[in-house]
Amino acid sequence: MSFSTFVTDKAGLQKMYEAIISKHETYAPVEKFGKYDYKKVSSLKECDPDSPIAETMSVKSLFFPRSSKIMKYEATSAGTSILETDQDPLTAQRVVLGVKHCDARGLQVLEAVNKWDYIDSDFLKRRENTVIFSARCDKAGTHCFCTSLDYDLENLDALDIAVVNGAEGKIYLQARTERGETFLKEKLEKSTMYNVQSTNDESEMKKQYVAFTASFRLKMDYKDINEKMAKRFDSPAFEEASRNCVSCNTCAFICPTCHCFKISDEKIKDTGVRYKSYDSCNNVYFTLEAGGHNPRPAKYRRWRQRSMHKFVYYKERFGVNLCVGCGHCAISCPVNISIFDVVNHIASTPVGS
């Protein structure tokens, strides 16, 4: 199935965004303390769909919330009963504006694990009911390496509608999924408000992509990394590379693909609430067993788990890398460690040395 492409201008796009916000439940990057996070918005003024990638949190939290209430319960000497379970509030369609391409790819990667042995219907339903607008970046950030990974960024179908800047203020809107196609057609075909024309000319989009790919500082050969990392489980380079890590877990919390979580209770007297919240494999307590044994007691083992999970284990199991090359971990790291540097360094060391 081929999808349609439309061309409009800045003013038209703004008008369209406003119309979407007034009609649909819309989420977009909202600035607070200099950092953008996806929040529900009621007007375009509150948010910035073109928020800088380095200062924007991952959209993952809209699909896999930072903490979600699982249930409320009562536990007394007479027994335990469940008072209420989590009702997924997402029934109507919602729209997310200003998602980054790499971030959207993160959701696609996460779908594999959420469809695995346990089907996480909440995650899948949220994705099913969301239309994602994603603008392709014009310039790569310092830590970006999305074009070096195992997905086709140019025709990425992890998002529903791609927004691409052309020359002379032209803006291209391209549907990438059936959901996006239906949504775009509904919005654009009957309306004359948004200065929109249908087009088949994709040469400017191609040009933008070529200029974008040329702006990358970081390039890697992911196949080579996958192969080499798989052979280096015992590499002493992990110890060396993790020495200056302070185990602060920021990298995992802001990662668009990390999906480890913990279950914890907030209990007051007899009633309690059970939460599912983010956790990180870099956390020393993550693998701590009830008996006191910890299979990953040293920092380098936890680091090894994190980098091997990104580039080896997930690839072996689901056929895709768990890293999408967004560079958020390197940006947020208080000691400026970059996973790109770490895996490249480890892959370059001799096996078994």
AA identity, residue 171: I
- The contact set with another protein (CB under 8 A) reads 32-35, 37, 57, 66-67, 142, 217, 243-244, 246-250, 252-254, 262, 264-268, 272-273, 275, 277-280, 285, 298-299, 332, 334-338, 341
Q: Which residues of 35-47 are buried (b: 16+ CB within 10 A; e: fewer)?
A: ebbbbebeebeeb
Task: For the CB of residue 316, give the shortest distance to another protein in the complex, in Å.
Answer: 28
Q: For CA atoms 88, 90, 96, 101, give the dihedral sign.
A: positive
Task: For the CB of residue 243, give the shortest distance to another protein in the complex, in Å.
Answer: 4
User: For the packed helices 222-230 and 339-348, what is the interaxial angle rounded to 10 degrees?
Assistant: 60
Token pair for 103: 């971030």
AA identity, residue 276: K
**Pick 193 or 263: Cβ nearer another protein:** 263
3-state secondary structure of 103: helix
- Distance (Å, whole) CA 227 – CA 215: 27
Q: For CA atoms 93, 97, 101, 104, give the dihedral sign.
A: negative
φ, ψ dihedrals at 311, nearest 5°: -110, -10
- Distance (Å, whole) CA 24 – CA 19: 8
**Pick 54 or 112: Cβ nearer another protein:** 54
Closest to 218 measured CA to CA, from 318, 141, 132:
141
Task: For the CB of residue 242, give the shortest distance to another protein in the complex, in Å.
Answer: 10
Task: For the CB of residue 188, give the shortest distance to another protein in the complex, in Å.
Answer: 36
**Pick 39 or 170: Cβ nearer another protein:** 39
Task: For the CB of residue 322, give the shortest distance to another protein in the complex, in Å.
Answer: 19
**Pick 17 or 63: Cβ nearer another protein:** 63
Task: For the CB of residue 244, give the shortest distance to another protein in the complex, in Å.
Answer: 5
**Pick 231 or 243: Cβ nearer another protein:** 243
**Pick 102 or 164: Cβ nearer another protein:** 102
Task: For the CB of residue 40, give the shortest distance to another protein in the complex, in Å.
Answer: 13
**H/E element, 161:** strand 161-165
**Pick 196 or 324: Cβ nearer another protein:** 324
Q: In what order do the strands lie in the sheet with 79-85?
A: 79-85, 67-76, 271-278, 261-268
